[in-house]
Structure 1
Amino acid sequence: MSGARWSYAVNQWDTNIDAFVRRREHERAFKTVSISGFGAVELTAESFGAWEPLGTPDQIRDLYGSLEQFRDVLAACALDGVSSYVYDPAIGFDVEMGRGHDPLDPAGVPRIVDTARWFAAALVRLGGDTLVVRPVGSAWQTGALDDGQIAALAAAWADVGAAVEAEGVGLALHVDFLSALRIGDGLERLVEATDGAPVGFAVDTAEFAIAGIDPVAFLRRHPSRIRHVQLKDARETVGESEALTPHAEQFVRTEGGERRIGRWFFEPTDEGGLVDFEGVAHALHDIGYGGWIVVESDQSPHPAESAMVSGWYVQNVLRPIVGGAA
């Protein structure tokens, strides 16, 4: 039986820059997550100041008074805390004078290390232990990564991994369906290049499936490297040529590309999406996975309903297979 823990990402409530900014809205979301059977929440790092009050440790302090007071609010909603923070180094934060940094550029790595350490230190105070990071930019920006670029990424994330490990936090590299690492064998080459380093990987079932990567096969192929799991479903795939579309973050991911896909992500269920969730659950059980499993539905038009539907599916189908606590 594994010691997996179950969390829920609150990004689905944050649908617009001013849509999720008040404490009352936060508390309603937290209580919904709790009654749906989850023990913690996952936050996403954002840099829009007061419009993203959960986006950075400083913004949490500004709204709640301190990180500890925010954790008290979570506890009052019957949650243990924050499981994880999702961080993209391309986003600039106030501590960086609003400038993001490229992990392929060695000159920017020290600032990425500092920012990652900042999030990690806050995460520990919030009860969490995993920093989930976007390891490289989109495919259209770089094309296929050569050996030198893979080596640069491996070195950069080894430095970051060591820094956050010293804070008591694990590092999980999160590959999305537009990532340069989804081109060719980039992801497998980075796994190999970081072997032995304090670097783990996140398996996001929908992002993998959209990119044509089998999450079950990846879990079974790299059991010792899995640091984080995010569960959501998908119904469409994106090939390499579409991922290489200029400005794909806007044109493909946000606007749906030439096919005008209205929604990329769905809550995990057994209703015929691309992801074999029971296969994922069996793989997690078999490899003895003991980290966080975070359920997402970050484009849901009905976030509370999605949380409750996901909670039912987790409690009645997935958790009995995987095992672990709420």
Structure 2
Amino acid sequence: MTGVRWAYALNQWDTNIDAFVRRRDHERAFKTISISGFSGVELTAVSFGPWEPFGSPDEIAKLYGSLDGLREFLAECALEAVSSYVYDPFVGFEVEMGRGPDPLNPDSLEPIAATALWFADAVHRLGGATLVVRPVGSAWQTGELSDEQIGTLARLWTEVGRRIAGHEVRLALHVDFLSALRLGDSIDRLLTATDPEFVGLALDTAELAVAGINPVDFFRAHSDRVRHIQLKNARDTVDDVEALTPHAEQFVRTEGGTRRIGRWFFEPTDEGGLVDFEAFAEAVAESEYSGWIVVESDQSPHPAESAMVSGWYVQKVLRPIVEGTR
């Protein structure tokens, strides 16, 4: 198996808007990721202005002078690239902490495409390959998607994927555990309606597991459309009834719902986890997947420890399976 590169997501370090804004903090995180065996880092697009120095290309330029300046800083920390950006179109970049356009509104195509191009250019210049997007809002906001809504999303994301392809960046749709796409057969309907040349999937093992979807089976069924992989573990599931709770992003995801779940996501090595990572790695090895695999643990109270433990697991267990050297 060739063509697979390993990265780590920065989000577990960046937990508060004023807690990760200094270059020395970034240096420690990047060097920890590097010594843990990863060659890239995944960033998240957010709109907190100077409190989120990696939230947009503009903020990167303010702290590092330019995207090239950040690339040089990464190299100094022995990292090769920013593998990917995660972009939620509901995040507004016109106004700090603002609200962005709704993908289900046909008039949103141009503003979403313009922002996607902004991040795709950054990904390309930082040595990465993928723009990971949240393709639609949460289940409680929409219910099961109609054919008309699927058509609107398909036109939007096919066009966005076509435009960012000019930057040699691939579009990957990310299905989170509260997504409207979890309802019924919406994932398959959207994939059928989109152009596979320009629209792929970002498979997040933990988000799927929490939604009650087996990520190994899902990968085997959709490996031809998977353009990006995010590895993390989960212990608990959320059924459709709970996902349809009003304001589920706050009540369920942030506050833990009626069960008061304290933490949704864990390292791949977590003993109580739902995901069979060795079986998943075997499925990847048997496929033609080529691209980044990003390890996450975005609620870890000990980010450096989580990165190192995850790095050991990747180097000693998962990577040999994926590369066929075990």
Q: Normalized against structure 1, the TM-score is what?
A: 0.97
User: Structure 2 CA distance, aligned partners of 1:193 and 1:150?
Assistant: 8
Where 1:253 maps in the other structure, the secondary structure is helix
Q: Is the 8 A contact 1:96 1:111 kept in 2?
A: no
Where 2:229 maps in the other structure, the secondary structure is strand
**Residues 153, 29 of structure 1: alpha-carbon distance in 2 compared, 3 angstrom cutoff:** same
Following superposition, the deviation at residue 306 of structure 1 comes to 0.2
Q: Is the 8 A contact 1:3 1:323 kept in 2?
A: no
User: Structure 2 CA distance, aligned partners of 1:322 and 1:20?
Assistant: 33
Where 1:308 maps in the other structure, the secondary structure is helix
Could you say what the CA RMSD is over the residues aligned between the two structures, in angstroms? 1.4
% identical aligned pairs: 71
Q: Normalized against structure 2, the TM-score is what?
A: 0.97
> 1:207-233: per-residue Cα shift (whole Å, max 9, x none)?
000001111111111221000000000
Following superposition, the deviation at residue 16 of structure 1 comes to 1.0
* Higher RCO structure (Cα 8 Å, ≥6 apart): 1
User: Structure 2 CA distance, aligned partners of 1:96 and 1:259?
Assistant: 33
Residue 302 of structure 1 aligns with which residue?
302
Q: Is the 8 A contact 2:48 2:96 kept in 1?
A: no
Residue 314 of structure 2 aligns with which residue?
314
Following superposition, the deviation at residue 153 of structure 1 comes to 0.7
User: Structure 1 CA distance, aligned partners of 2:42 and 2:154?
Assistant: 25
> 1:107-147: per-residue Cα shift (whole Å, max 9, x none)?
01111001000100111111111000000000010011011
Please, which moves more after superposition, 91-100 or 282-291?
A: 91-100
Residue 138 of structure 2 aligns with which residue?
138
Residue 235 of structure 1 aligns with which residue?
235
Following superposition, the deviation at residue 94 of structure 1 comes to 2.9
Q: Is the 8 A contact 1:173 1:200 kept in 2?
A: yes
Following superposition, the deviation at residue 321 of structure 1 comes to 0.6
5+ residue gaps, structure 1, are none
Give the 5 Å matches for 1:1-326: 1-94=1-94, 98-269=98-269, 271-323=271-323
Following superposition, the deviation at residue 271 of structure 1 comes to 1.8
Where 1:112 maps in the other structure, the secondary structure is helix
User: Structure 2 CA distance, aligned partners of 1:281 and 1:204?
Assistant: 13
User: Structure 2 CA distance, aligned partners of 1:223 and 1:12?
Assistant: 27
Following superposition, the deviation at residue 27 of structure 1 comes to 0.5
Please, which moves more after superposition, 158-167 or 266-275?
A: 266-275
Following superposition, the deviation at residue 197 of structure 1 comes to 4.4
User: Structure 2 CA distance, aligned partners of 1:38 and 1:249?
Assistant: 31
**Residues 298, 97 of structure 1: alpha-carbon distance in 2 compared, 3 angstrom cutoff:** closer
Where 2:41 maps in the other structure, the secondary structure is strand
**Residues 271, 99 of structure 1: alpha-carbon distance in 2 compared, 3 angstrom cutoff:** closer
Following superposition, the deviation at residue 15 of structure 1 comes to 1.1
Q: Is the 8 A contact 2:208 2:215 kept in 1?
A: yes
Q: Is the 8 A contact 1:89 1:133 kept in 2?
A: yes
> 1:38-76: per-residue Cα shift (whole Å, max 9, x none)?
000000001000100010000000011111111111000
**Residues 95, 68 of structure 1: alpha-carbon distance in 2 compared, 3 angstrom cutoff:** farther
> 1:144-190: per-residue Cα shift (whole Å, max 9, x none)?
10111111111110010001101110000000000000011111211
Q: One-letter code of the match for 1:320?
A: P
**Residues 45, 24 of structure 1: alpha-carbon distance in 2 compared, 3 angstrom cutoff:** same
Q: One-letter code of the match for 2:161?
A: G
5+ residue gaps, structure 2, are none
Q: Is the 8 A contact 1:270 1:277 kept in 2?
A: no
Where 1:298 maps in the other structure, the secondary structure is coil
Following superposition, the deviation at residue 13 of structure 1 comes to 0.3
Q: One-letter code of the match for 1:298?
A: D
Instruction: List structure 1 runs of 4+ shifted beyond 6 angstroms.
Output: none
> 1:253-280: per-residue Cα shift (whole Å, max 9, x none)?
0000000000000011162410010111
User: Structure 1 CA distance, aligned partners of 2:127 and 2:149?
Assistant: 34
Q: One-letter code of the match for 2:138?
A: S
Q: One-letter code of the match for 2:174?
A: H
Q: One-letter code of the match for 2:48?
A: F
**Residues 96, 227 of structure 1: alpha-carbon distance in 2 compared, 3 angstrom cutoff:** farther
Q: One-letter code of the match for 2:312?
A: W
User: Structure 1 CA distance, aligned partners of 2:245 and 2:154?
Assistant: 26
Q: Is the 8 A contact 1:2 1:285 kept in 2?
A: no
Where 1:237 maps in the other structure, the secondary structure is coil
